[in-house]
Amino acid sequence: MSKKNWIFGRNVVITGCSTGIGKELTVQLVTKFGCNVLGVARNKEKLEALKKELGDKFDYRRFDISDEQAWNDFSEEVKSIGYNVDVLINNAGMIQDFSQYGDMDIATVKKIVNTNFNSVIFGVAAFLPMIKKSKFGYIVNISSASAILPVCGETIYSATKGAVKAFSESLAQDLSGYGIGVSCVMPGPVKTDLYKTRDGADDKAKKNYELVESIGITAEKAAKRIIKAMRKRKTRVLIDSVAKLMDFGMRVAPSLTQKLTCKAMKAACNLVPAFAPIFKEQIEHKEEIGKELKERKSAMYRSLKEVPEKGAFTE
């Protein structure tokens, strides 16, 4: 048997299993690889439908993944029923509305941090002892291409996904001596309901996810490529052309790539209304901000000439 076939028949825990990439991963792991999947999500109706579709190879639990104690209780329950976990897939997450960081309320910031990053470290902490006992131990953390190229208007989302990337890469080194694999998956736009949920259903929203529809890959294709990377036990996983392009730009000319990306997003506000809140103030007060920038540059140059010989804080 090929080493790539290690994934067949494994016991898997996956978060965000009721929709998008998580659902496709669940379906493919059960139907194509005979895995036993214990999924975590919140939508009971979708979970029941998935249970009906997949049968005894799938079961689910509903809890808040940002709650550390909920993770600990979940892992204890799993142990008590004799379900030895081989693979943990931290897939669940939430996307941020495009906006300036200064316009965000702290409650939203905390929610994104807890959902996108804290849930990952809680999940790994809860199941790592069990995974270490498995002969096929593996962890998959779904990050984002925004971890490679953080974009304007996605400050907290990019930060949390960057944290997932750093955590995963360091964890892979920690666990390499135990034969446990860790994959950090960094997808670009994926055609899921995540964008429709965020942007709504009006005409502006349709323009937003029309962009995703035009450049993104399907959740089914994303899941297939993630499983392929798992079978090869790859640590760093870029599954689409957008992510690969972002990675190339940040390797070759990081400062220029960031600058051009921001300019392109600003120029595309009419085509992609979701970008508009990021640049609203800059566009509405273009002349005033332009004058302030000139004055600020002038003040900085003058200040170099006005610094006291003995230092600004010397009596």
Catalogue the active-site residues: 157
CA distance 221 to 240: 9
- Which strands make up the sheet holding 138-142, listed edge to edge? 58-61, 36-40, 11-15, 87-90, 138-142, 181-185, 236-237
SS3 of the chain: helix, strand, coil, percent, to 5: 60, 10, 25
Which residues share a beta bridge with 36? Answer: 11
* Dihedral sign for Cα atoms in the order 235, 239, 240, 243: negative
Roughly what angle, to the nearest 10 degrees, separates helices 20-33 and 219-231?
60
**CB–CB of 229/182 below 8 Å?**
no
For the residues of 126-142, what is the DSSP string, one character each? Answer: HHHHHHHHSTT-EEEEE
Virtual torsion, Cα 275, 100, 93, 223, nearest 10 deg: 30
